[in-house]
Amino acid sequence: MTFDRDLVRGSLDLMVLSALAEGPQYGYLIQKRIREASGNLVRIQAGTLYPLLHRLESDGAITSRWDDTTGRDRKWYELTPTGRRMLQDQASQWQEYVNCIRRLLNPALAALRIGPEPT
């Protein structure tokens, strides 16, 4: 199973901000964290991730710095106070959205299970 592309696209900022809430990370670690946390259902490609990171940095949500202490020059990203607020706001909105969808789906799914058989 994979998620619909539009569903994932609408939540990429939240996923990246959530991964960075755990501490500074470089691109591959962000990709890996999201892949693992999603049970391998969400795989963000570099061509999607890096423009998103640049946009989040332009918006003041994250900062970046180059570091070569791992033996390789890598760009590390971390949340700013603005990014933490964005994460809190987006997480709250998503929780409400999930609750709304659940309230709509539960009766519909129950009706499908116990309704009359289709003819």
CA gap 27, 19 in Å, rounded: 11
Asked if 61 and 82 count as a contact pair (C-beta separation under 8 A), the reply is: yes
> In the chain, what are the domain boundaries?
5-89
Assess if CATH 2.40.50.140 describes domain 5-89.
no
pLDDT by residue for the chain (119 residues), tens only, comes to: 678 888 888 899 999 999 999 999 999 999 999 999 999 999 999 999 999 999 999 999 999 999 988 788 999 999 999 999 999 999 999 999 999 999 999 999 888 887 566 55
Asked if 40 and 57 count as a contact pair (C-beta separation under 8 A), the reply is: no
